Amino acid sequence: MPDIQIEICSQMPPKEALNDLLGQYYALIIERMRAMGEEIDPDAPRSALAEFWEKSDDYLPPNGCLVVAWNADKVMVGCGMLKCLDAATGELKRLFVTQAARGTGAGRQLVEARVEAARKMGLKRLVVDTLTPNVEMRSLYPKLGFTEVFDPIETTTYIDQPSLRPHLHYFVKDIG
């Protein structure tokens, strides 16, 4: 099993490395959205990346948390983010592990690190959403103590992407 190191970032990691990783993440999400029949603007990956950087402070202390996974060659192979929705609730965002690092436990470690960070931030509850075709996440979250709920939760995706609402699955974990 490859050696994966998890880092909770106090500042943004190197922009080029994070852009490369998020580019892969957005490409996968868009591929899955198209497979669901969604029409996606060809500029969507670039605009999503720009939007991330505009709101990047949401994912750093004291507002949130950014966790990255590095392989033994010091290549970023995964990430996960946490942002506060309110004083008690955090939302997990952008969990992604590269194809080469899948099966290493990196995804699990990225979730666990954010859960621990949320506890340290004093949050009491975590929410996360994922798309129907994201079978990896729909399988992982319950294994880590998240419960799937069937009533919609006003997550960032729910608010920003109304067309995706029929395809969203919501998970909740009480941590307080």
The domains located in the chain, with CATH, are: 5-174 (3.40.630.30)
Peptide bond into 62 cis (omega under 30): yes
pLDDT at residue 2 tops 80: no
- Rounded to 5 degrees, φ, ψ at 61 are -55, 145
- Rounded to 5 degrees, φ, ψ at 108 are -60, -45
Could you tell me the pTM of the whole model?
Answer: 0.93
Residue 171: beta bridge partners? 128, 148
Q: What percent of the chain has pLDDT over 90?
A: 76
pLDDT at residue 130 tops 90: yes
Residue pair 4/71 in contact (Cβ under 8 Å)? The answer is yes
| pLDDT mean over 65-73 | 96
